[in-house]
Amino acid sequence: MTEDHAADDRARAESRADRLFALYPAAALAALVPIGAVTPLFPVELGVATFALGTLAVGMAHGAVDHLVPLRAAPGVSLRRSIAAVSVAYAVLGGAVVAAFFVAPVAAFAGFVALTWLHWGQGDVAALAVAGVEHLPTSAERWLALVVRGGLPMGVPLLSHPDEYRLVAEWVVGLFLVEPGAAAAAVEPLLVPAARLAVGGVVIAATLSSVGLGYARVRGGASRRGWLRDVGEVAVLWAWFLLAAPVFAIGVYFALWHALRHIGRLVLVDPEAVTALEGGDGRRSLARFARDAAPLTLGGFAALVGVGLAVPAGVAAPGDLLAASLVGIAALTLPHVVVTAWLDRQQGVWRPGAA
């Protein structure tokens, strides 16, 4: 009976975390679609300011508890070992990313886009797993969902707003290729119409395939509710990234969607935060996360400042600020993806039924 009560308490905590960190933010993004639709009429600086605000408010914090993930998600891992392993990963992998931008900025930028595609899809599939959806019962179907969920923020703006996408690419590469016109010429092969159409085709085909396979699972007995949720979220993301200006769209999505979902997942590996959620105290669980994340959030901003000071072109305009921030975020993203992949493995996200 005690085990039954514990399972019920855990289910309540997961349900509350899902509502607070996934469902409510998704509804908020849906409500913002009409606002996003008019943002292409405004200067790109609006998007830069939005991105900066979202990063300050939530985005940077969502990876700032990585050093505690091994401690909380696996038995027998000490605090010292947890911090040491994650610190080494951040130092080595983050340093390698920054070095890659100095050596081959175009390839590094393309790699960052691909890595973000992977990671944002990874985060959404994990959120669906926490929600207990039944229409993604195999690893292959979850990987297809990853292609869809990561491709919407990374691929759709390339299809719908190529000029702003190109501008951001030129800003980033221009931090390292300072000769006039060098950045524009360097990024051109990445943004030719054939490449744009290929990316768009992949995202469209993956969306239709994922939705269709999910519906087949529902016809076979899987819960319709989980499939409808998946389809509804995909529809919101399609509308958002088709209509909103890319920098603005990414800034809002990063803070309101991706970061909050990951925070909800991390709350569920903190026993004290879970206890708070079981009692209906979402505020206390979030306060614990904020306390744990505060020191390394500040450290992350210090890393961004360091990148801004190191780049050859310097940081003198809003576009330069965004570009330097993206390079710094790229350096933090690779080790963050490694930690998240380790957590995925511990929780059996890609091996349904194995956790």
pLDDT (tens digit, 9 = 90+) per residue, 31-85?
A: 999 999 999 999 999 999 999 999 888 999 999 999 999 999 998 899 999 999 9
pLDDT, residue 279, reads 86
Q: Are 119 and 149 in contact (CB under 8 A)?
A: no
Average pLDDT, the chain: 93
By CB neighbour count within 10 A (0-12 exposed, 13-18 middle, 19+ buried), where does 30 fall?
Answer: middle
Question: What 8-state DSSP symbol labels residue 314?
Answer: -
DSSP string, 129-183: HHHT-SS--SHHHHHHHHHHHHHHHHHHHHHH-HHHHHHHHHHHHHTT--STTHH
pTM of the predicted structure, to 2 decimals: 0.94
Scan for tokens 């993004």, then name that residue: 29
pLDDT digits (tens, 9 = 90+) for 149-165: 999 999 999 999 999 99
pLDDT for residue 3: 66
Cβ atoms < 10 Å from Cβ of 267:
25
Three-state secondary-structure class, residue 51: helix
pLDDT of residue 118: 97
Q: Region 333-346: what's the mean pLDDT?
A: 96
List C-alpha distances in Å: 297 to 57, 242, 306: 10, 31, 14
Residue 355: per-residue pLDDT:
47
End-to-end CA distance of the chain: 22
